[in-house]
Structure 1
């Protein structure tokens, strides 16, 4: 639940008793999704000469949400601006997200304050793309990608599920994106363990 009051967004999370499963996206899913979004999937580089100048991809794209998604799904951080623009366009035009605000004016104030979209086809400032993305932008990404996104929030020690519908959710068979969020970092969850 989202509330926009006093020029600030308040998020209230509700617990669910739906059984959930760790079912991360795989290479086939990525290839199909990337193609359906109009991009070209780049297969991960394996079995090649490895130099001291190479760094883990995760080090490069950790923290910046559009870069994380473009690298994770299509294997290409160069399309991060298109991912960012498409997610924000979904946020701006998404009727379900608009309903989360008490009034149209509150929604427009939120959009004006937080989005990177200034005018149609205007280039996106690279520094703005690197700025922090919030829960509503991640929800807009779930709508844009038509998939569920789990975010493990270290500050609350909880998993947050974001998706376009909760009534038809089948977590046992549905591929999802799993992310973690700390005070100043976001990244991809690749495995789980019990404490």
Structure 2
């Protein structure tokens, strides 16, 4: 994917908000009445610090301070003040696109409430890019070009790297090379590209989320700031919001102040990073086990897909503990000892006991099979998170070792985990390899 991106003839880092006072600008001025042209000049052609305030993103290579995109907090009140035809003209000029048509929307600035008028966009994995292509040019035809520009921002803009952090940034680059659909990082990158804040309305949460390209470098948005407004309905459905409800009553809309600025959600990208020989040796030394077979994992860390290669474990009520025994020692025969230690963990760990209704955790003492509570207890005991692939739903379920402190995130790019496949309640196999995108 990135080889294609690198061939973009229009270099993103040379976008500048050039004041339209040249010949092209004079021609454009003649096509508008004098009052409209003055308004355009007032809003978009400013000379503070020698640059425009709403042009596309300029390179920060020569900047003394790196601005972390989307890192500021927002106030409780948001405003609906959508970009207009002047903005469309300027962005198409910068991107060298054809302005097909002006996007009709209510230009009356007002308090941000529920969307009252939307324009549907073709729902597919490119829907976000189609929607922004419509905002800029009036057509979705430029969605592929827009996606390439956004990926250039993600790949090369220091603000994204600073914002995500070194490890998460590297992880996201891997993810974008294998996926097309949009995450929050691509939305904030689009905000940087267009140098315009983007509001996204969650249809199901009834909440507006703000992705602000300026982050800490700018004061909170005001009623005068032009923004883009989208409605998010599902993973592949973004619609244009061209008007909102005019109801001014308090509490009629929720603007989420905590997530109004972009935050990286690491759980959206999971990796296959299995336990290794070093993990085995550490655990067997701690538990006084003898390693009967060293780990056979010899694959690089990769995005977590469906299982490709598994070690089959004996099928009975003890299958889960047999699988854990195999992960520890390379043999199933220690399953009884492991089950007993899991039982001890449950008896003495109040956080795990809290997962059981009433005092039903005692029932596990008399059973051999593992429920989700015992799997979590195993993860806590081993200090290793466990992923289990359901053969029925074809999805991975995470049993996090950090149950006692939910504030501690799991980074599967750097943390070793156990991966099992479950075909039925009493059938667990050890996953050694997962499918790749190649």
**Could you say whether these structures have the same fold, taking a TM-score greater than 0.5 normalized by the shorter chain as the test?**
yes
1:89 aligned to 344, 353, 364, which one? 344
| Structure 2 SS opposite 1:67 | helix
Q: Structure 1 residues 28 and 16, CA, compared in 2 at 3 Å: closer, same or farther?
A: closer
CA distance in 1, matches of 2:422, 2:379: 16
CA distance in 1, matches of 2:335, 2:267: 35
In structure 1, the partner of 2:418 is 177
1:22 positional shift = 0.7
User: Offset at 1:170?
Assistant: 1.7
SS class of match (1:85): helix
TM-score (norm 1): 0.67
Task: Tell me the equivalent position of 1:61.
Answer: 314
SS of the aligned residue for 2:370 comes to: coil
Secondary structure of residue in 1 paired with 2:272: coil
Counterparts of 1:99 and 1:23, CA distance in 2: 29
1:27 and 2:277 are equivalent in the alignment: yes
Residue-by-residue CA offset, 1:31-52 (whole Å, 9 max, x unaligned): 11121223222235x9xxxxxx
> Do structure 1's residue 153 and structure 2's residue 361 form an aligned pair?
no
Structure 2, unpaired ranges of 5+: 1-264, 297-309
Are the structure 2 counterparts of residues 168 and 16 from structure 1 closer, same or farther at C-alpha, using a change threshold of 3 Å?
Answer: closer
Could you say what secondary structure the match of 1:182 adopts? Answer: strand
1:37 maps to: 287
Aligned equivalents of 1:78 and 1:38: distance in 2? 14
Partner of 1:187: 429
Q: Deviation at 1:182? A: 1.5
If the length of structure 2 is used for normalisation, what is the TM-score?
A: 0.32
Deviating more after overlay: 70-79 vs 175-184: 70-79
In the TM superposition, what is the alpha-carbon distance from 1:133 to its structure 2 partner?
A: 1.4
Residue 10 of structure 1 aligns with which residue?
none
Relative to 1, partners in 2 of residues 1:75 and 1:194: Cα closer, same or farther, differing over 3 Å? closer
CA distance change for structure 1 residues 38 and 134 in 2, over 3 Å: closer, same or farther?
A: same
Task: Measure, in 1, the Cα distance between the counterparts of 2:347 and 2:393.
Answer: 28
Distance 1:159 1:33, change over 3 A: same
Map of 2:370 onto structure 1: 133
Per-residue deviation, 1:58: 4.0
Deviation string, structure 1 residues 163-185 (Cα, Å, up to 9, x no partner): 22152322111010000112252
Contact 1:138-1:162 at 8 Å conserved across structures: yes
* C-alpha deviation, 1:135, in angstroms: 0.8
* Greater displacement, 86-95 / 140-149: 86-95
**Post-superposition offset of 1:62:** 4.9
How many aligned positions are there?
A: 152
State whether residues 149 and 176 of structure 1, in contact with CA within 8 Å, keep that contact through their aligned partners in structure 2. yes
Judged with a 3 Å threshold, the aligned counterparts in structure 2 of structure 1 residues 175 and 65 are, in CA distance, closer, same or farther, namely same
Deviation at 1:60, TM superposition (A): 4.9
Is the alpha carbon distance of 1:23 and 1:185 closer, same or farther for their aligned partners in structure 2, counting shifts above 3 Å?
same
Contact 1:91 1:140 in 2 (8 A): yes
Higher alpha-carbon Rg: 2
Q: Alpha carbons of 1:80 and 1:174: their partners in 2 closer, same or farther (altered >3 Å)?
A: same
> CA deviation digits over 1:38-92, x for unaligned, max 9?
3222235x9xxxxxxxxxx944535511111112211233322111100111122
Q: Secondary structure at the match of 2:355?
A: coil
Q: Deviations over 1:93-132 (max 9, x none)?
A: 222112334xxxx342x2233333xxxxxxxxxxx54xx3
User: 1: CA distance between counterparts of 2:321 and 2:311?
Assistant: 13
Change (3 A) 1:179 1:60: closer
